[in-house]
Amino acid sequence: MSEAEHRVPIDTGPQPAAEGIAARALRLRGATYLAGLNPDQRCAVETLDGPVLVLAGAGTGKTRVLTTRIAHILNLGRARPAEILAVTFTNKAAREMKDRVGQMIGQVVEGMPWLDTFHAIGVKILRRHAELVGLRSDFTILDTDDQIRLIKQLLEFEKLDEQRWPARVFAALLEGWKNRGLAPDQVPAIEAVSFANGKGKALYQAYQQRLKTLNAADFGDLLLECIRLFRQHPDILRQYQERFKFILVDEYQDTNTAQYLWLKLLAQPRSSPDAPGAATAGDEGAERGRSPDVGPRLHTNICCVGDDDQSIYGWRGADVDNILRFEHDFPGARIIRLETNYRSTGHIVAAAAHLIAHNRGRLGKTLRAEGGPGEKVQVTACWDSEDEARAIGEEIEAMQRAARENGADHPLDEIAILVRASFQMREFEDRFIQIGLPFRVIGGPRFYERAEIRDALAYLRVIAQPADDLAFERILNVPKRGLGDAALQMLNEVARRKRIPLLEAARLLGASGEMKPKPRAALRALVDCFDRWRGLGAKIPHAKLAEIVLDESGYTEMWQRDRSADAAGRLENLKELIRSMEEFENLTGFLEHIALVTDADGGEGGEAVNIMTLHAAKGLEFDTVFLPGWEDGLFPHQRSLDEEGHAGLEEERRLAHVGLTRARKRARIYFATNRRIHGLWTSTIPSRFLDELPPDNVEVTEARTGGFGMAAYGASRFDEMTAFGSNYGTPGWRRAQGRRGAGADEASAAEARVEAAERGRRPASRLVSRPGQAGDAGRGGHPLRARRAPPLIEGALIAKSTGTVSQFAVGERVFHQKFGNGNVIAVDGNKLTVAFDKAGEKRVVDRFLERV
């Protein structure tokens, strides 16, 4: 399609035909699409001409404005769908926008070819003009994994000590340069010298060289090469400038410098001969600093939507300055603020707004809540992270009970636990497994990044693209076929000498007598396989081909024979991969898709509490949000403070703001006073962000467990606490303080001490694997309120209270997502004790198990 579209006359404007029935139908819908907007939103939608910056606070209808704006442009006939460039960061956001625009404008208009992620659009442009940047149009897109391996090769070739100069360090450096739009000769001298005694720049050059040989581009190149293309070929740039009558950018606060430069080039339409001179190398500073003098500017219909208070990706190259500098970059820009929050209740909005007001570098917005005040933001102190997980688990169960009593229910999907760092998740997973609370972890290792998937893909890549050396190298000896380092070295040597791909080198070596018979035979077999598979590819569906490849290569068998815990899961993943291939027309299409789309997307049904990082939560919303771990050093994170100083603190604060504003009805903050850091128990200080919350909108409570166990505190620790407590005089807080006094609860104090001591001894083994003792649950009181009862007893009580009988029997073979395969060795209600092959003995709830 690229060729055909290429020739479509570019500047035909609205066509008369569009004014017919379809347009009238659209008009009718138009009456509704504008009606529901508030005045600010409406202004953001209707201000079509000139640069516009929409500062959209959390929950103020950002996506709605973007999509309505597109609908509006189309409805007025100001542009056709193919003349609107709309960029997002993630595939998810792009998909959502496509869906919503589709809904608004109905089937009357064809889809929008230029609504996509920065990278997807970059690829689209590059494939059309690949020759001009030294690539072929079927170039491969490398991911981080490939990159690292490529860099390792380069370092080896340069005889650099991998210990002193690790590949990933260089990869990070490289990424940073590319994020900033720097070509090898533009890298600042100091930075170029900083790696491998001044070899940084040369390595960058060699790396780019190698990419061209491999006919490959990395993620950074998808934008950088576009920029280079635009600068070196003003005629091509002009084509695109004229085509895109309107440009829309989502999440502008997250753009990095390369994306900024890319946008800026496209958003300077019909600029007079700005051309090669001004546009070639070395003027990064100039372009960014002053506003480039580019002659008569006719229209820059660019609309950027973002929120400087939600910029949380500085560490990966996003430059908040881009949004702060907007007016300067696009003179005459309109700035429209969306400040009415439709998502959260009053106290939550007030708390978030007050917190973020402590930041200095911001454009300034005042969020207002639409709805009533709702519940105050709760702040709860816990003894340690285990206590924190227990408290939150019980809170969730209590909420469900309460809802049930009211005949309502609080769906688990509407609950999220947002952590700063992923290691915090484990505690919740463990606890929820124990009490049988369904949860799902969002984030984690991504589907397409798993080793088995990448191995399978490598086979397919070699079939589709015989010159893909990285892919070939990856599977050369996977599964093991006796082609180790020695063989690879020979291959590399031949390939380099003859300037041919590894696969071709393999063919030569397989035919010649240079190699020892064994590896030679293996090599020949492999090459034959690839020849056969490629031939087959033309005849059978690609999903079927993949299946055959995995079988014949011995790859499936390799995992079938593997006895480790996750082998079953890996085989499952491979099946899933083949299933997902069926949705694509051909192998190339599929490979392109997976190169750019990495979100496995958690749409998996089923009622479950969501556990994820704060970063992963951006853009999402939930009725109830739990925010654990608000301790200085963890949140704000120490490393952020150390490395980025005040800027780092402000970004952490924005993260806190993002966290709070995810909540519709309930936001609950927790902190622990003790946490294990790098294996050591450390006492912690409550997050400074707590003191930045407005007291009137906050309620300080004690944990439901009552497990805070103040009596177990040393005096000094409590003194640290008072810095926090002094701000509050709520009953809950006073109660907690009161408990500090002697004898308030001798028994529990003793219990807490014992337990603390016990934890000190074996903090890691978490009371899970002592199934024998589950029986004596003879204590009174509600199981959930059981004060400091040993968790096992608590677990048993819950199991009994659910009244279910397990469908599993002792001796059965079962599979668990996290622990792998194992044998049931005890059954107790719906709780089973399973001896896992790898993970050892665990107590798990039966619903997490499958029969094998």
Catalytic status, residue 528: no
- Which of residues 6, 136, 446, 646 is near DNA by CB under 7 A? 446
- The reply on whether position 610 binds DNA by CB under 7 A is no
376 is known as an active-site residue: no
Whether the Cβ atoms of residue 574 and residue 550 lie closer than 8 Å to each other: yes
Catalytic residue among 243, 376, 654, 662: 662
Q: Which of 12, 32, 107, 163 binds DNA (CB under 7 A)?
A: 163
Neighbours of 372 (CB within 10 A): 8
**484, 589, 775, 840: residue in contact with DNA (rule CB under 7 A):** 484
Q: How many residues bind DNA (CB under 7 A)?
A: 46
Residue with tokens 């792009």: 94
Ramachandran assignment for 217, one of left (phi > 0), alpha (psi -120 to 50 degrees), beta (any other): beta
Q: How many helices (H) and strands (E) does the chain have?
A: 35, 23
Q: How far apart are CA 447 and CA 466, in angstroms?
A: 25
Task: Give the DSSP per-residue string, 684-732.
Answer: --B-GGGGGS-GGGEEEEE-TT-TT-GGGS-HHHHHHHHHHHTT---HH
**Which of 77, 176, 438, 763 lies at the binding interface for DNA (CB under 7 A)?**
763
Stretch that binds DNA, among 115-123, 195-203, 230-238, 695-703 (CB under 7 A): 115-123
Q: Is the CB of 430 or the CB of 828 nearer to DNA?
A: 430
Q: For the chain, how big is the Rg over CA atoms in Å?
A: 30
CB 366 within 8 A of CB 344: no
Query: How many other β-carbons are positioned within 10 Å of the β-carbon of residue 287?
Result: 17
CB of 636 to DNA, least distance (A): 9
Stretch that binds DNA, among 74-82, 352-360, 597-605, 802-810 (CB under 7 A): 597-605
Q: Which residue of the set 251, 388, 699, 751 is catalytic? A: 251
User: Considering the rule CB under 7 A, would residue 258 count as an interface residue with DNA?
Assistant: no
If binding is defined by CB under 7 A, does position 681 make contact with DNA?
no
Nearer to DNA, 385 or 613 (CB): 613
90 binds DNA (CB under 7 A): yes
- Interface positions, 198-237, toward DNA (CB under 7 A): 219
699 catalytic? Reply is no
Cis amide leading into 479 (omega within 30) = yes
- Measured between its terminal Cα atoms, the distance across the chain in Å is 47
Q: By CB under 7 A, tell whether 487 contacts DNA.
A: yes
HEC assignment per residue over 155-204: HHHCCCCCCCCCHHHHHHHHHHHHHCCCCHHHCCHHHHHCCHHHCHHHHH
Contact flag: residue 316 with DNA (CB under 7 A): yes
Q: Which of 820, 818, 812 is nearest to 851 (CA)?
A: 812
Give me the phi and psi of 216, to 5 degrees please: -135, 160
Does residue number 461 form part of the binding site for DNA (CB under 7 A)? no
Query: Per CB under 7 A, does 264 bind DNA?
Result: no
443 near DNA (CB under 7 A): yes
The catalytic residue among 250, 592, 755, 846 is 250
| Helix, strand, coil percentages in the chain from 3-state DSSP, rounded to 5 | 55, 15, 35
Q: Which is nearer to DNA, 411 or 633 (CB)?
A: 633
Interface with DNA in residues 511-530 (CB under 7 A): 519
Residues 482, 645, 738, 781: which binds DNA (CB under 7 A)? Answer: 482
State the nearest-atom distance from the C-beta of 202 to DNA, in Å.
22
Structure tokens at 518: 């064994």
Decide if 648 contacts 358 (C-beta within 8 A).
Answer: no
Measured from the CB of residue 175, what is the shortest distance to DNA in angstroms? 7
Q: Which stretch binds DNA (CB under 7 A): 37-45, 506-514, 570-578, 592-600?
A: 592-600
Measured between alpha carbons, how far is 316 from 644 in angstroms, rounded to an integer?
13
**Binder of DNA out of 9, 16, 605, 679 (CB under 7 A):** 679
Least Å from the CB of residue 744 to DNA: 33
Q: Is 485 in the site for DNA (CB under 7 A)?
A: yes
Compare residues 349 and 625 and give the one whose CB is closer to DNA. 625
662 sits near DNA (criterion: CB under 7 A): no
Q: Which of 47, 63, 588, 598 is catalytic?
A: 63
List, in order, residues 6 or more apart from 32 with CB less than 8 Å away: none
* Helix 587-596 vs helix 118-128: crossing angle, to nearest 10: 140
Contact predicate 410/403, CB 8 Å: yes
Which one of residues 143, 274, 468, 631 is an interface residue with DNA (CB under 7 A)? 143
Amino acid at 682: T
Q: Which amino acid is present at 223?
A: L
Near DNA by CB under 7 A: residue from 44, 120, 441, 767 = 120
Structure tokens given for 705: 């467990």
Which residues make beta-bridge pairs with 844? 832
How far is it, in rounded angstroms, from Cα 796 to Cα 802?
10
| Angstrom distance (rounded) from CA 173 to CA 464 | 31
* Least distance in angstroms from the C-beta of 291 to DNA: 28
* Per-residue x/- track, 616-655, DNA (CB under 7 A): x--------------------x-xx--x------------
Question: Residue holding tokens 């939560």?
Answer: 617
462 within 8 A of 468, measured Cβ to Cβ? yes
User: Which residue number, 427 or 751, has a Cβ lying nearer to DNA?
Assistant: 427
Q: Is 90 labeled as catalytic in the residue annotation?
A: no
| 814 DSSP β-pair partners | 822, 851
Which phi and psi angles does 767 have, rounded to 5°? Answer: 55, 15
Active site residue 63: yes
Identity of the residue, 352 or 418, whose beta carbon is nearer to DNA in the bound complex = 418
| Minimum separation from the CB atom of position 648 to DNA (A) | 7
- Say whether 662 is catalytic: yes
Return the active site residues. 62-63, 250-251, 310, 662
Residues in touch with DNA (CB under 7 A): 89-92, 117-120, 143-144, 162-163, 219, 315-316, 420-423, 443, 446, 477, 480, 482-487, 519, 596-599, 612-613, 615-616, 637, 639-640, 643, 678-679, 763-764
